[in-house]
Amino acid sequence: MEKDGLAKSSDNSIEREGLISQSLSKDGIPNQSLPDDHIGIENISVEPNKLYAAVSALKNYGFNYLQCQGGYDEGPGKNLVSFYHFITVDDLQKIENIKEVRLKVFLKRDSDLSIPSLYEIFKGSDWQERETFDMYGINFIDHPNPKRLLMPEDWRGWPLRKDYIQPDFYELQDAY
């Protein structure tokens, strides 16, 4: 239920829906407004199949720079998260003119870990998405070069997942 820009969350507390979240909703892109971070940056969650539409809309709103893409693990048995931090870079002479927003995609670790690549919208996502794939096993659909970046190609597992079990040794094969 919504009243005057306020949304009731599942824990019966009231949180304000952010301006960017409201704009996405008005444009027909389903999303969930998350609490702002510790410095007031708006956080928004979208479903994997709505990521590309949401990012295209953000770019149209003026968020023309993907500052960071990354991933994290909420813990064993919990979600894997791909996050995106967007800023505007129109007038860098005045730091107060920079606007920021963070988008998150929550993925259940026992389901499909595939989300669209943002390479066609932001070329800078190339290596960032490869690193997230390499460390967490999140697959980026239509990425132009979907292979490991940091770990050897034959490495098994995803080293930054909290349920990862490190092997006793790693044997280099075909090193020379």
Query: Using one digit for the tens of pLDDT, what is the confidence trace for 87-134?
Result: 998 765 555 667 999 999 999 999 999 999 999 999 999 999 999 999
pTM over 0.75: yes
Of 2-6, 30-34, 44-48, 159-163, where does mean pLDDT reach its minimum?
A: 2-6
List Cβ neighbours of 37 (8 Å cut-off, separation of 6 or more): 43, 102
Task: Check residue 113 and give its pLDDT.
Answer: 96
Mode of pairing for the β-strands spanning 114-116 and 100-108: unpaired
Class of domain 2-110: alpha beta
Task: Check residue 115 and give its pLDDT.
Answer: 97
Q: Look at residue 154 and tell me whether its pLDDT is greater than 70.
A: yes
* Residue of 139, 140, 131 lying closest to 160 (CA atoms): 131
Task: Check residue 65 and give its pLDDT.
Answer: 94
What does the pLDDT average to over 60-84?
A: 96
Mean pLDDT of the chain: 86
**Residue 168 carries which DSSP code?**
S
pLDDT-above-90 percentage for the chain: 70
Across the beta sheet with 79-87, the strand order is 32-34, 42-45, 100-108, 79-87, 65-73
Side chain identity, residue 176: Y
Mode of pairing for the β-strands spanning 6-8 and 2-3: antiparallel
What are the phi and psi torsion angles at 134 (to 5°)? -65, -40
**Residue 33 carries which DSSP code?**
E
* Residue of 170, 50, 71, 51 lying closest to 130 (CA atoms): 71
What does the pLDDT average to over 133-162?
A: 93
